[in-house]
Chains A and B, each alone.
Chain A
Amino acid sequence: MPSKTAAALEANAEAGHGSLIGYFPAGYPTVEASIEACVAMCENGLDVLEVGVPYSDPVMDGPVIQAATVEALANGFKLRQTFDVVRAITERVSTPVLVMSYWNPIVQYGVERFASHLAAAGGAGIITPDLIPDEGAEWIAAAEKHDLDRVFLAAPTSTQERVNNAAEKSRGFVYAVSTMGITGAREELDELARKVVGSVRQAPTRQNTAVGIGISTGDQVAEVNGYADGAIVGSAFVKAYQSGGIDALSAKVAELASSLDTRNN
């Protein structure tokens, strides 16, 4: 089956507007609350959802997401509840749901078992921030078997050869890291993002690419979608939720989504 994630991105591109991809941590602040938050995000114009798996040592995450995932773990989040969250969301909305997880939890669960349970829960695939394709043979095989997307990253410092490999090994899209930093809202989006997207476009394997890390405003979302296939927003959504719960989160998603196009008018 073709990738549902890729289909969503490509349909939006064909219609002449971009895509909004949003992150929210599973189990934050509780499992139930995270399901409601994610559903609300999907109902307010999100094109692809990323459900984050809380992990004790999140080296790619900035302070906002770190604090949220620490809280989720402190509130008793268990890895297997990832599938409960994904299932509950996919039963209520049709938005493609990717899981974003550091590699060790998946290794401990069993790569093949994780892939199988994710597929059964209706999940679309996995974003692996600390797994490079070079180390990903087992995951790539499991993803093939269970028809899951695999989103690898490309960075401003990646050689064209490495970007080519990421494009070839990914399904769904390539996650273009826009700054040489960690997640967290930035005032100005780096020009580096254009460079990474340009490298993905040059790869022999045609692959969608979405830009993440540092995006927090509607202008940024619109700007990124001028050259990429999607904008990924994480910390800004978690912050919105912290400031005013589901209502503030829904409003933030709707605001960023409306900056893209005329769909909602």
Chain B
Amino acid sequence: MSSSSKPTNLRAQSGPYFGEFGGRFVPESLIAALDQLTETYEHAKTDPSFISELAELHRTYTGRPSLITEVKRFAEAAGNNVRIFLKREDLNHTGSHKINNVIGQALITKRMGKTRVIAETGAGQHGVATATAAALFGFDCVVYMGEVDTKRQALNVARMKLLGAEVIPVTSGSATLKDAINEALRDWVANVDTTHYLLGTVAGPHPFPTMVRDFHSVIGIEARAQMLEEFGFLPDVVTACIGGGSNAIGLFHAFLDDQDVRIVGFEAAGDGMDTPRNAATLNFGKPGVLHGAKSYVLQDEDGQTIESHSISAGLDYPGVGPEHAWLKDIGRAEYRGISDAEAMDALRLLSRTEGIIPAIETAHALAGALKLAKELPSGSTILINLSGRGDKDMETAARYFDLLDGGANA
């Protein structure tokens, strides 16, 4: 689609479909729960008491609004006179954007009169955020986590347990995030009367992609206003990393109808875009159905899901939210891949130049911005969603850079 005929009013899309993507490809047993959720959410989102309760929790608990930080030394390293701005979701309580969605859905859970929440988690960030909200709201909480991930994110497992959640390692299938989602869906089918499935990204059946996006859209709404207020312009490019796509759509959504703002998402390319070991679903996947929605899926010709690969557990997912699939197909957003090595270099660079240690997920967006800086006209401005902090990744980073046991300096 040429830029002159780009559709306008992209922000108005609210599911169940985004173009041909989205929908509800789930067992009939879940439809009543999805209908109840849709109805509760539709009512809540325009209810002044819900809106003010959510805003109050964000102000007093999450720590919103989050800052915008201009990173001059990092930008200097990027070169070409670019200016780079970070939307600091890492400063939120629990250390990432995930809390925005979790607090919203916890309020919805309360409205539905449910007392138990379940969640899937990859990196553990969404599990920690869910366990946190469960503690705050007094819900029972069970988190499904692929056995492989419980090992690479052991510290987050401990955090969830300390917060009172039960963590169930998932051994079925490939024992990673996708299988944790399958297990959570099975739990939900069996316990739907008491239980809300607090899905952690903009994937899954309607209304999740729309509802989770709406809860994260505060990122972009704040950032857009902050850019105008503090700097007097909108950025030339907005970027974010893409796992399921929640932090990205949270930032992008406010800018969808700003025709002059370019939108670029960065997927995990794992060993590299020229290798099959990646998690770059929008680059290498095909349209299909996974976890209840039609979107791009990493799959073989028989429709069997292919295991994804990334150093970052939070991006290691063979699916992606349907709204991103649609934004790609209509040409409003671009999606590119960043390898493990590129991401880790960017992680170290931001740490060294700015004193901010980002999550490895987030480092993919930082690496992407470094590449973009070289292609853009001199003096361009880039806004990056700094989706999370790197504390949870210290073990991986320490091993990657050989920092432990008297190891060399990175």
Name A residues whose Cβ lies closer than 8 Å to a Cβ of B: 55-60, 63, 66, 70, 73, 78-79, 103-109, 129-132, 134-135, 152-159, 162, 166, 177, 179-182
B160-179 CB mask vs A (1 if < 8 Å, else 0) is 00000000000011000011
Known: A103-B25, A135-B24. 15 other contacts (CB 8 A): A56-B173, A57-B305, A59-B26, A78-B302, A108-B302, A109-B302, A135-B25, A153-B28, A155-B28, A155-B29, A157-B31, A157-B33, A180-B191, A182-B189, A182-B190
Set B32, B33, B178, B286: member contacting A57, Cβ < 8 A: B178
- B407 part of interface (Cβ distance < 8 Å): no
Chain B residue contacts of A156, Cβ below 8 A: 29
B303 and A104 within 8 A (CB) = yes
Chain B residue contacts of A130, Cβ below 8 A: 25-27, 289, 292
Closest B residue to A105 by CB, please name it: B303
B186 and A59 within 8 A (CB) = yes
Known contacts A57-B173, A108-B303, A166 near B186 by CB under 8 Å: no
* A48 vs B290: C-alpha distance when bound (angstroms): 29
A177 and B29 within 8 A (CB) = yes
B192 and A103 within 8 A (CB) = no
* A156 vs B189: C-alpha distance when bound (angstroms): 11
- B23 part of interface (Cβ distance < 8 Å): yes
B31 and A158 within 8 A (CB) = yes
Known contacts A56-B304, A130-B25, A134-B24, A104 near B288 by CB under 8 Å: yes
> Measured between C-beta atoms, what is the minimum distance from A161 to chain B in Å?
11
B176-188 CB mask vs A (1 if < 8 Å, else 0) is 0011001001100
- B291 part of interface (Cβ distance < 8 Å): yes
Known contacts A57-B182, A107-B289, A166 near B304 by CB under 8 Å: no
B189 and A180 within 8 A (CB) = yes
Closest A residue to B306 by CB, please name it: A56
Closest B residue to A58 by CB, please name it: B182
- B153 part of interface (Cβ distance < 8 Å): no
> Measured between C-beta atoms, what is the minimum distance from A163 to chain B in Å?
9
- B297 part of interface (Cβ distance < 8 Å): yes
Chain B residue contacts of A63, Cβ below 8 A: 172
* A190 vs B123: C-alpha distance when bound (angstroms): 38
* A157 vs B30: C-alpha distance when bound (angstroms): 8
**Interface majority SS (helix, strand, loop, mixed), chain A:** loop
* A200 vs B23: C-alpha distance when bound (angstroms): 25
- B229 part of interface (Cβ distance < 8 Å): no
Chain A residue contacts of B292, Cβ below 8 A: 130
Chain B residue contacts of A66, Cβ below 8 A: 172-173
- B375 part of interface (Cβ distance < 8 Å): no
A-B contact pairs, 27 of them (CB 8 A): A55-B303, A56-B173, A60-B189, A70-B173, A73-B304, A79-B303, A104-B288, A104-B290, A104-B297, A107-B288, A107-B303, A108-B288, A129-B27, A130-B25, A130-B27, A131-B25, A132-B24, A132-B28, A152-B28, A153-B27, A153-B28, A158-B28, A162-B28, A177-B27, A180-B192, A182-B186, A182-B190
Closest B residue to A81 by CB, please name it: B302
A157 and B182 within 8 A (CB) = no
A155 and B289 within 8 A (CB) = no
> Measured between C-beta atoms, what is the minimum distance from A209 to chain B in Å?
13
Chain B residue contacts of A131, Cβ below 8 A: 25
A109 and B303 within 8 A (CB) = yes
Chain A residue contacts of B24, Cβ below 8 A: 132, 134-135
> Measured between C-beta atoms, what is the minimum distance from A50 to chain B in Å?
16
- B301 part of interface (Cβ distance < 8 Å): yes
* A166 vs B28: C-alpha distance when bound (angstroms): 10
- B121 part of interface (Cβ distance < 8 Å): no
Chain A residue contacts of B31, Cβ below 8 A: 132, 155, 157-158, 162
* A99 vs B84: C-alpha distance when bound (angstroms): 55
> Measured between C-beta atoms, what is the minimum distance from B12 to chain A in Å?
23
A181 and B189 within 8 A (CB) = yes
B190 and A180 within 8 A (CB) = yes
> Measured between C-beta atoms, what is the minimum distance from B220 to chain A in Å?
30
Most central of A70, A78, A157 by chain B CB within 10 Å? A157
B349-363 CB mask vs A (1 if < 8 Å, else 0) is 000000000000000
